[in-house]
């Protein structure tokens, strides 16, 4: 099974590990991520204004490319997933936006949200199956207490993202179980790490991330797993507890025996 793949800018640079491990693992699990031949940065955040059109175009171009290749679109970065999925929803349900976008793009065939957008985790859960994954695991994380960090973007707004129960999700905990670890559930796993505010107000991000880390540590997590490069950055930067923070694809690649788990990226 081949999926069109939108890596996003960060996965090609600071979050290379997230991307490489995703591709390695997918081959082992029986599907291929075929990077879109042309793609532009999604913008990092979904533009909330109802009259925002230009800022949504790069996402629409990615969706159209996937449609024309007759493939579903897969993302690995939570932020890209959030932007592209919400834009896709606009193209399906907001006639005004769909009209203006199609008028501008002048495609051979207007786009109306036909492409299905999946996050890598959804592929693992719904297409591969966590049971199948568990059987393929060669180096399980037995005995390791792993906390899932969802952040905001994977789950909200739940009416559009439809990934999981946004207040009591289990997709990453099920993933942790599949790779042999012991999931640690803690209340702050779906609260914001600070996000982009870290650029202008690092103190605000420090407090937000601090609360997440404290809660995870308090409930016994030995390491945290996340799907968003910005979350990883914020949590690592503001970690006073020595908790390593990995991308889920790093743990996946390690569990499948494809790659050694490097120390937390950038050698800490």
Partner 1 sequence: MQRIGVFVCHCGTNISATVDVHKVAEILGRESSVVYSTDYQYMCSEAGQNIIQNAIRDRHLTGAVICSCSPRMHETTFRKTAARAGLNSFMVEIANIREQCSWIHKDKEDATQKAIAIGRAAIAKVLLNTPLVPGESPVTKRALVIGGGIAGIQAALDIAEAGFEVDIVESKPTIGGKMTQIDKTFPTLDCAACILTPKMVDCAQNEKIHIYSYSEVVKVKGFVGDFEVTIKKKARYVDENKCTGCGACIEKCPMKKVPDEFNLGLSNRHAIYIPFAQAIPKVATIDAMQCRMLTSGKCGICSKVCTAGAIDYKQKDQFIEQGYGAIVVATGFNPISLDKFDEFAYSQSKDVVSSLEFERLTNAAGPTNGVLLRPSDGKHPHTIVFVQCVGSRDTTCRGKEYCSKICCMYTAKHALLTREKYPDTEVYVFYIDVRTPGKGFDEFYRRAVEQYGVHYIKGMVGKVVPRSDGKLEVQASDLIMGEQLHIDADLVVLAAAMESDKSARPLATMLTASMDTNDFFTEAHPKLRPVESPTAGIFLAGACQGPKDIPETVAQAGAAASKVIGLLVKNTLKGNPCVAQSDELMCNGCSSCEKVCPYGAITYVDKEFKMPNRTIAIRRVAQVNPAVCQGCGACTVACPSGAMDLKGFSNKEILAEVDAICR
Partner 2 sequence: MDDNRIEEREEIERISGVDVRKCMRCGKCTATCPCYDEMEYHPHQFVCMVEKDEIEPLLKSKSLYKCLSCFACVERCPRQVEPGKLVEAVRLMVIRQQGRNHLNPDMIVKKLDDRMPQQALVSALRKYSK
Contact residues for partner 2, defined by CB under 8 A: 8-10, 13-15, 41, 43-45, 47-51, 55, 77, 79, 152, 155-158, 166, 191-192, 194-201, 204, 207-208, 211, 228-230, 232-233, 236-237, 266
- Which is nearest to 133 in space by CA: 145, 119, 148, 123? 123
In the complex, least distance from residue 220 CB atom to partner 1, rounded to whole angstroms: 8
Least separation, in Å, of the C-beta of 253 and partner 1?
30
Give the 3-state secondary structure of residue 261. Answer: coil
Residue 44 interacts with which of partner 2, partner 1, none, CB < 5 to 8 Å by class: partner 2
In this complex, which beta carbon is closest to partner 2, that of residue 12 or of residue 138?
12
Collect all residues with Cβ–Cβ distance below 8 Å to 173 and sequence separation of at least 6: 148, 183, 185
Interface with partner 1 includes 215 (CB under 8 A)? Answer: yes
Smallest distance from partner 2 to CB 91, Å: 16
| Nearer to partner 2 among residue 9 and residue 137 (C-beta) | 9
Q: Determine the Cα–Cα distance for residues 72 and 188; give it in Å rounded to an integer.
A: 32
Tokens describing residue 4: 């069109």
Q: Which of 203, 185, 191 is nearest to 231 (CA)?
A: 191
Cα 81 to Cα 74: distance, rounded to the nearest angstrom: 8
In whole angstroms, how close is the CB of 188 to partner 1 at the nearest point?
6
Query: Contact between 185 and partner 1 (CB under 8 A)?
Result: yes
Q: Are 6 and 84 in contact (CB under 8 A)?
A: yes
Closer CB to partner 2, residue 109 or residue 158?
Answer: 158
Q: Return d(Cα 207, Cα 63) in angstroms, integer.
A: 37
Residue 256: CB partners within 8 Å, gap ≥ 6? 24, 25, 28, 29, 136, 137, 138, 139
CB of 256 to partner 2, least distance (A): 25
Residues within window 155-174 making contact with partner 1, judged by CB under 8 A? 159, 165, 167-168
Indicate the residue among 40 and 219 with the shorter CB distance to partner 1: 219
- Residue 126 or 201: the one with the smaller Cβ distance to partner 2 is 201
Binds partner 1 (CB under 8 A): choice among 219, 237, 244, 261: 219
ω before 26 within 30° of 0 (cis)? Answer: no
- Binding stretches for partner 1 (CB under 8 A): 159, 165, 167-168, 185-188, 191, 215, 218-220
């Amino acid at each position: 099974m081949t999926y069109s793949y939108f890596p996003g800018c960060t996965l090609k640079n600071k979050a290379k590990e997230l991307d490489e491990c995703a591709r390695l693992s997918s081959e082992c699990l029986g599907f291929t991520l075929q990077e879109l031949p042309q793609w532009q940065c999604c913008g990092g955040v979904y533009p909330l204004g109802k009259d925002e059109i230009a800022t949504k175009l790069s996402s629409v171009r990615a969706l159209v490319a996937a449609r024309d290749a007759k493939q579903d679109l897969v993302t690995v970065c939570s932020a890209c997933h959030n932007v592209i999925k919400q834009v896709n929803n606009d193209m399906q349900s907001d006639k005004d936006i769909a009209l203006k976008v199609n008028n501008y793009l002048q495609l051979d065939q207007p786009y109306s949200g036909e492409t299905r957008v999946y996050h890598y985790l959804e592929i693992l859960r719904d297409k591969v199956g966590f049971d199948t994954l568990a059987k393929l695991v060669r180096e399980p994380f037995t005995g390791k207490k792993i906390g899932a960090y969802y952040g905001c973007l994977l789950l909200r707004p739940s009416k559009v993202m439809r990934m999981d129960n946004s207040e009591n999700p289990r997709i990453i905990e099920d993933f942790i179980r599949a790779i042999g670890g012991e999931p640690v559930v803690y209340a702050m796993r779906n609260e914001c790490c600070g996000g982009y505010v870290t650029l202008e107000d690092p103190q605000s991000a420090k407090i937000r991330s601090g609360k997440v880390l404290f809660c995870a540590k308090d409930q016994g997590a030995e390491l945290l797993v996340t799907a968003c490069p910005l979350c990883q950055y914020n949590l690592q930067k503001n970690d006073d507890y020595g908790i390593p923070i990995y991308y889920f694809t790093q743990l996946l690649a390690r569990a499948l025996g494809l790659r050694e788990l490097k120390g937390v990226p950038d050698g800490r």
